[in-house]
Amino acid sequence: MAKEWILNSAMNRFQLNFKRNVGPTSESIRQCAPATYNEWRDYYFSNVRTKEHIEDLGKKLYVKITEVISAEVEDVTEQDCIDYMLQMVIDRSFDGYITEIKTVYGQLEKELMVKIEPAPDEWDRLFNVDFFIKIQDKYIGIQIKPVNQGIQLSQIFKEKDLQAKTHEAFTKQYGGRVFYVYSSKVGERKEIRNKEVIIEIRQEIERLKTDMTR
């Protein structure tokens, strides 16, 4: 099994199974329409590529594995492996998370037609707020939560309950409510999952504006 994986990976990497090397195999076997394995084998070697040509490709594959890949493997250190795992697990996950959040808050700005700004680090720590909307001297808080296949909504709602006190403290100090915006991947695009929150934020904006005119 391991040997087949190595052979297949190397063959694909160096494109030895590409059409330019082995010919149009799918089209050729349909043209041949063989009834037996031997019939297809004879047709291929007579009309597509010679047996010697395929054997030469096999020899090239051997050189690639035993010389090129072997030299590359010898060059890999333990630290390379540690760094790569950290990069995959930490760095790329964080980059994807930040991209998702930026995409979603961009959608919010477009829908609400107001400026949404990143919250100060202190607000993140004290109030669990990622972004804010400023309405004169009042603020509305927004927390964006990506909802992926590995994250259950029940987990998020539990976390929401735990953060309720910090959000109440934010409202008491800055006047506006804190809203959760859930996002998930739809195809290749990140979208707001609880779209009703847009209406709720609009209502809060209007409430704060009305309070200031009294």
pLDDT number for residue 149:
53
98, 154: one domain? yes
Radius of gyration of the chain (CA): 29
Residue 120 in domain: yes
180, 97: one domain? yes
Residue 82 in domain: no
Residue 84 in domain: no
Residue 141 in domain: yes
What's the CATH code of the domain at 138? 3.40.1350
Q: Which of 182, 181, 143, 185 is nearest to 163 (CA)?
A: 143
Which domain does 132 fall in, by range?
Answer: 93-213
Residue 135 in domain: yes
Q: Among 75, 105, 130, which residue terminates a domain?
A: 75
32, 134: one domain? no
What global pTM score does this model have? 0.53
Give the chain's domain count: 2
What backbone phi and psi angles, to 5 degrees, belong to 112? -85, -20
pLDDT digits (tens, 9 = 90+) for 123-135: 988 998 989 999 9
136, 51: one domain? no
66, 103: one domain? no
pLDDT number for residue 150:
52
Helix/strand/coil for 179: strand
- The token duo for 77 is 């250190």
pLDDT number for residue 121:
84
- The token duo for 142 is 């927004």
Please work out, in degrees rounded to the nearest 5, the angle formed at the alpha carbon of residue 43 by the alpha carbons of 34 and 15: 105
pLDDT tier at 198, thresholds 50, 70, 90: very high
pLDDT number for residue 157:
63
Mean pLDDT in residue range 161-170: 87
Is the pLDDT at 147 greater than 80? The verdict is no
